[in-house]
Amino acid sequence: ARGGSFAMSAFSASNAPCTTHSLHARVSPVSKARQGKTSLPSSRNVLLTFPRPGSNRASRFGAIVGHASGTETPSPVRKVLVPIADGTEEIEAVTVIDVLRRAGAEVTVMSVEDGRNEVVCSRGVRLVADANVKDVAGRGAPNDWDLIAVPGGMPGAEHIADHTKFHAVLEKHFRAGKLMAGICAAPAICFEPKGFLEGFAATAHPAFVDELGGSLMEKNDQAQCRVVVDKTMVTSRGPGTSLEWSLCLVEQLFGKDKAKEVAGPMVVQPANAKLLRNLEWRLDETPVAK
The answer to whether the CB of 206 falls within 8 A of the CB of 28 is: no
CA distance 63 to 69: 8
Cα pseudo-dihedral 181, 184, 189, 194, rounded to 10: 20
Question: Which uninterrupted H or E stretch holds 203?
Answer: none
Which is catalytic among the residues 184, 190, 225, 248? 184
> Which phi and psi angles does 227 have, rounded to 5°?
-135, 130
Closest by alpha carbon to 244, among 196, 198, 184? 184
Q: Is 18 a catalytic residue?
A: no
> If we measure between CA atoms, which residue out of 274, 268, 287, 148 comes closest to residue 224?
287
Beta-bridge partners for 132 = 111
Please name the residues in contact with 65: beta carbons below 8 A apart, sequence gap of 6 or more: 58, 98, 101, 102, 265
Query: Which residues are annotated as catalytic?
Result: 184
